[in-house]
Amino acid sequence: MRRWLPDDSGPGCYPYPVTNDLALMVGLPGQGVHLHLDALSLLFLCILAPQILASAVAGMRASVTFWVFCAGMVLALAAGDAFTLIFGFELMSAASWLLVLRGDQKPATFYIAIAIFSAACLIPAVFLPASSPVSCSIAFILIALGTGAKAGLAPLHSWLPKAHPAPPAGVSAIMSGGMVKIALYVLIRYSFIILTGAAQPWWGVVLIIAGVASVVIGALRAVLETEMKTMLACSTIEHVGLITVGLGIALRAKAMGDPALTAVALQAALLCAVAHGLFKPLLFLGAGEVKHSTGTTSLNWLGGLMRGQPRLGGLMLLGAAGMAAIPFGPGFAPEFLLLHAVIGAAATGGILARIGFTFVLAALGLGAALALGAAVRLIGIGFLGRPRSLHAASAEDARPGPLFGMGLLAVLMLPVALLPGQVLAALVPVVSQLAPQADMHPLAYTPLPLLLLAFLIATATGFVLHRFGVRGTREVAPWNGGFGRAPAWLPFGDPTTQPSATGFAQPISRAIAKAVLGKNGTDPADAWLIAPIQRLHLRGVRLAERIRRATIRQRLGVVFAALVLFLAALGLAEGG
């Protein structure tokens, strides 16, 4: 086992000076465990620490498995050699599987299969010698597969909407806000630092394609799901895609020698990771409190929660602003930079690059529109209007612990939302480490003065209306947005007077059905296209069921066979 010394060139070796390592005499004989922190690992530790604190005070502090889960993530970030990295990563996977298993056994079975696949890709990749461009490319593909499976990157995303909602809200929060970041950290570490000398532009193209697919799939599923935690998990897939698109553009630009575009894309990806690590745990903790108060997280049975839970509703509104990437929210500046990076990347190639990045721009725009619809649906259906059940009508405000955790995350979101330029200035050491030649420019977007101006205008308008407006009350129609006075025989109002979560998403689901099946079912003219899609979907369902029912021995056998085939292919490639 090699230390991560400056003169080593293999993927298993980090470029760390020996004098900065902390060596612990545990682990492999004669090797031990080496810990090291640099700008990149410190950034991800700063993203992870508030999530751990918020989840702990929200009710997870008494769980030993939760703290083992957190220790695995911290160890992976502080790893100074390949063994320590894999040990921390797999400790994180094992502990998170136990937490998911306690919540629901069915998704836990699928999740452990994905975790084994991720390990089967990462373990050979981190110890693969970088002796040729072919071996470096193989290592990158394996790293992308292993980390993409753990982060929920398309097409390896199907486990995430099932596994993330299964455990308690505190675990779901740190899985969506923290665990996926650890996988992305490993991808960044190997793509931009360890394998940087052999990076090829097509590496970035692979990440861009996977990221765009994740954005569209995640945003589309988020706007269609009716269960709140599942919807938030699908939104995580979308934001993982956004981060991956930024990393792909930066990796491609770095390989092509474009320092300005590399800097913009890295700033967009890292700022998106910071923002998502704050507002997504906040939303998951809020969803947990909704379930604690009402017994359900189905949007079809909620409504009117803003009256009974005003503090929780206000914090959820802040988190939804980040999820929707609206101005003055924490998610706006990252997407603003990412769109600029996509536009800049379109000018770095020929006609194929222009066409491809135009498609990427359109896909990101579609994802942003769907994410906005999902956020509006979350707040409008779940917290506004009339309650749709007795439990929603009698919901009380959140408990002090979760409110404190959500408030902490909300306070940390404010600099990202209102002072993104200062946050990007703090990220300069990280960008310089990943791309030493990067040409960074200050962000021209300054939302704080605009927000102060909007506040002054709103205050003046409110004063004028209060001073000169007509006082009194007036009756409105009972269908007026669900806020009209309900009749005595319908205490929750007529359900037909306000939309449901399913009805809100019906136009999109109908559009999808029409695009695939035609106006009135299957069109005979399109049967040649639809039949293969249906057969492929059926085979995918059967394969997933076989994976779910497979024993541990069978899964380990598949992993062993995959490793043997990998070593054989590597030997043939090196011999050729």
CB burial of residue 529 (10 Å; 0-12, 13-18, 19+): exposed
Measuring CA to CA, which residue among 152, 177, 151, 160 is closest to residue 58? 177
Q: What is the DSSP letter of 79?
A: B
In whole angstroms, how far apart are CA 562 and each of 83, 124, 148, 322?
A: 21, 11, 18, 41
- The answer to whether the CB of 237 falls within 8 A of the CB of 218 is yes
* Helix or strand (DSSP H, E) at 23: strand 22-24
Rounded to an integer, what distance in angstroms lies between the CA atom of residue 309 and that of residue 403? 11
Between vectors from CA 161 to CA 174 and to CA 88, what angle results, nearest 5°? 40
Name the residue type at position 327: P
pLDDT digits (tens, 9 = 90+) for 307-333: 888 899 999 999 999 999 888 889 899
In whole angstroms, how far apart are CA 547 and each of 155, 410, 550?
A: 16, 40, 5
Paired sense of beta strands 33-35 and 22-24, if any = antiparallel
Coil/strand/helix, residue 24: strand
Average pLDDT, the chain: 81
- The answer to whether the CB of 22 falls within 8 A of the CB of 36 is yes
In whole angstroms, how far apart are CA 433 and each of 196, 423, 438, 497, 518?
A: 11, 17, 9, 56, 52
Question: Dihedral angle at the C-alpha atoms of 75, 77, 81, 87, nearest 10 degrees?
Answer: 40
Segment 268-296 shows an average pLDDT of 92
Ranked by mean pLDDT, the top range of 6-15, 103-112, 199-208, 456-465 is 199-208
**Phi and psi at residue 298, to the nearest 5°:** -75, 125
Rounded to an integer, what distance in angstroms lies between the CA atom of residue 443 and that of residue 448? 13
- Calculate what percentage of the chain has a pLDDT beyond 90: 38
For the chain, the first-to-last Cα distance in angstroms comes to 26
Number of Cα atoms under 13 Å in the Cβ half of residue 7: 0
CB burial of residue 360 (10 Å; 0-12, 13-18, 19+): buried
State the Rg of the chain over Cα.
Answer: 25
pLDDT digits (tens, 9 = 90+) for 533-549: 456 556 666 766 666 66
pLDDT digits (tens, 9 = 90+) for 137-191: 888 999 999 999 999 898 888 888 888 888 899 899 999 999 999 999 999 999 9
Instruction: Look at residue 90 and tell me whether its pLDDT is greater than 80.
Output: yes
Rounded to an integer, what distance in angstroms lies between the CA atom of residue 571 and that of residue 511? 50
| Residues found in the chain | 576
Measuring CA to CA, which residue among 533, 541, 543, 538 is closest to residue 117? 543
Name the residue type at position 524: P
* Helix or strand (DSSP H, E) at 446: none
pLDDT digits (tens, 9 = 90+) for 478-525: 545 545 556 565 655 555 566 777 777 777 777 766 555 444 444 444
Residue 303 zone, left/alpha/beta (φ > 0; ψ -120 to 50; rest): left
- The answer to whether the CB of 484 falls within 8 A of the CB of 366 is no
Segment 408-435 shows an average pLDDT of 91
Tokens of 437: 């030649």
pLDDT of residue 520: 45
Number of Cα atoms under 13 Å in the Cβ half of residue 277: 27
Segment 208-221 shows an average pLDDT of 92
Residue that has been written with the tokens 């919901």 in this structure: 395
pLDDT of residue 445: 73
Q: What is the DSSP letter of 193?
A: I
Residue that has been written with the tokens 């994976």 in this structure: 547
